Structure 1
Amino acid sequence: MRAGERFTVALIGASGLLGRAIAGELASALGAKDWRVVQTARGRADARRVKLDLLDHDAVRAFLRELAPDAIVVAAAERRPDVCENDPALARALNVDALSVIAAEARMLGAWVLSISTDYVFDGAAPPYFPDATPAPLNAYGQSKLDGERALLASDPAACVLRLPLLYGPFTDWNESAVTSLTPAIVRSADPANPPAPMDAWATRYPTLTCDVAAVIRGMLEHHAKGATISGITHWSGDEPMTKFDIARRIARVLNVDAKLVAQHTPTDATPRPRDCHLDSGRLETLGIGRRTAFDIAIAGLLANYPDVPDQ
């Protein structure tokens, strides 16, 4: 970036759960005269977002060459483990091949890439996991994200991967997050006419607010803009361990409903999932980057904005 020019960020996948939070954080926190953020989306493009299908590699190349961004944040992915397990080719196309195209273009343009990855690159047997821990994914989703990490860093060692755990945040649909997706079943279980709701009490998760992650990403972008680029593998995570059973009880308390919940102490998912992939966030914390909102405060604020909880 030359003196007097604006720092341009391409935000790929700006319409998703995390992408919207990043877009909002960058819009509110960064000086408009110094920063330019160009958002893309595949299915939910609008006046704020450029339509871009990551499976169309020629379109991706054309977009990046025309924009010539200083930084590219890749928040788009196939993140549903069951979908990845049933369609590994689609998982690879989005999580590996598309990222490889972006990485190659970024290197040619001199742009820094920050790509979002997952704690599911680990098997969950020996937490906490540091950035240099050996990955061992249990499912196709984790493997595709790991392959994407490796493709990105092989193409450009100056790029950065940010691994994240279970995310939740402002949502447009209850099923956008595995946290809020529990709410309808919780509400239904409170009806005496309905049976109890089974909830996983086997796997420990670390729910992390997308707004906090967005603040972390802003901090990483600011470092890059100042010439202090963060490269390689990084982690960010909430620090409150809880199972989905724990999460459900907290949501029920916020909603003030007498939910009937049954703890399941053995895995029930068709797709294998790790038991505890706690990510160590020390690398970013050492740089003064990070923000965490207490889960009870965050979930209460989110649910207060969505009073019409479905009961069907």
Structure 2
Amino acid sequence: MFKVALIGGSGLLGRALKNELECQAGWQIVATAFSRPSSQMVALDVRDSLAVERFIEHVAPDAVVIAAAERRPDVCERDPALAGALNVDAVRTIARAANRHDAWTLSISTDYVFDGTQPPYRHDSTPAPLNAYGQSKLEGERALTETADRGCVLRLPLLYGPIINWSESAVTSLVPAIAASAGPDGQAATMDAWAIRYPTFTPDVAVVIRQMLERHSCRETISGIAQWSGDEPMNKYQIAMRLAEALQLEAHLTPQRTPTDATPRPHNCHLASSRLEALGIGRRTPFDIAIRQVLAAYLRGEEQRL
């Protein structure tokens, strides 16, 4: 039996991971949740170091995947203490507990550890974060690599996938403004057309992580820094246009070609995925196909709730 502890199983990425990993024969997945507890997950606050240690001791996993984090740049900017507790201290605590069971620890990081001026970025490129979120995730990477006897950091860019509300992903969070702009009386919505992003589908990431876990289970453990990214560059304005097309809305959208966010964001942090690709790891679903799946599933659920 190969046992995986999934920390943060109720979030956008965590749910996709749980669905993917639970399909593997001979694997046992023990998932935790904090803000969305359920009978299928263990309630755990990763800021409680004693609770984390007790959980890892009880599960005795072969591998730990850390999908819990504070991922909102504006929140990190306003509350660096919270960002540090979730993105740095919790990673160190989990890795230290995992060491006692010789477990491999995989921690999720971000493309925002780079300043976006010289893409594409390799796994060994020099980080230079522009904001508190990127800084906290970089410190979390260091906490993992300095603490884990066996560990790996997986950097990911903008994520989207099956959602429980529009705001759960920065991709689908655009939908309400798109819908409000549609029709003859719609109010035009301004969308960022400056920053280049690489939307990445969470079920694809789940496949990547499952493949990484498979290698660990076969004693071919991946260590250090790895990266995975979608390969379709687009700004928010372009994302919004494709969302409007998928929703069959005549949206009135205006591109904003200079940065306007209060929290500084990088221009283009394209992550090179070559290290994992060389190992035969990876899957990419075209954006237009994946986003239609996401929208259809969410709208179907909304109809059932009415």
For residues 195 and 187 of structure 1, what CA distance do their matches in structure 2 show?
9
Q: Which of 20, 27, 30 is equivalent to 2:22?
A: 27
Q: Which letter does structure 2 place at the counterpart of 1:176? A: E
3-state secondary structure, aligned to 2:19? helix
Taking structure 1 as the reference length, the TM-score comes to 0.95
Aligned twin of 1:3 = none
Q: CA deviation at 1:17?
A: 0.2
1:14 counterpart (9, 30, 49):
9
Q: Aligned runs of 1:264-279 on 2, under 5 Å?
A: 264-279=256-271
The corresponding residue for 1:108 is 100
Partner of 2:272: 280
Who is 2:61 aligned against? 69
Write the distance in 1 (CA, Å) between the matches of 2:5 and 2:285: 27
Partner of 2:79: 87
Q: Output the CA distance in 2 between the equivalents of 1:245 and 1:230.
A: 37
Name which of 124, 144, 153 aligns with 2:145.
153
* Separation of aligned partners in 2, 1:50 and 1:200: 39
1:90-127 Cα deviation digits (max 9, x unpaired)? 00000000111111111122110000000000000000
- The answer on whether the counterparts of 1:157 and 1:232 sit within 8 Å (CA) in structure 2 is no
Amino acid at match of 2:14: G
Cα distance in 2, alignment partners of residues 306 and 26 from structure 1: 22
How far, CA to CA, are the matches of 1:106 and 1:307 in structure 2?
A: 40
1:253 aligns to 2:245 (yes or no): yes
Counterpart CA distance in 1 for 2:27 and 2:298 is 32
Alignment-derived partner of residue 293 in structure 1: 285
Q: Which residue of 2 aligns with 1:180?
A: 172
Runs (5+) with no aligned partner, structure 1: 1-5
**Residue 45 (structure 1) shift:** 1.5
Whether the aligned pair in 1 keeps the contact of 2:32 and 2:42 (CA below 8 Å) is: yes
Q: Is the 8 A contact 2:64 2:103 kept in 1?
A: yes
Q: Does 1:220 align with 2:212?
A: yes
1:158 counterpart letter in structure 2: R
**Secondary structure of the residue that 1:109 maps to in structure 2?**
coil
User: 3-state SS of the aligned residue for 2:97?
Assistant: helix
**For the residues of structure 1 that align with 2:146 and 2:246, how far apart are their CA atoms?**
46
Matched residue type, 1:285: E
**SS of the residue aligned with 2:22?**
helix
Q: How many residues align?
A: 302
Task: Provide TM-score, normalisation by structure 2.
Answer: 0.97
Match of 2:186 among 189, 194, 207: 194
**1:132 alignment partner, one of 124, 127, 152:** 124
Residue among 135, 141, 144 paired with 1:143: 135
Structure 2: 5+ residue runs without aligned partners?
A: none
RMSD: 1.2
User: Is 1:238–2:243 an aligned residue pair?
Assistant: no
2:123 and 2:272 in contact (8 A); partners too = yes
How many angstroms does 1:158 deviate by?
Answer: 2.6
Seq. identity, %: 63
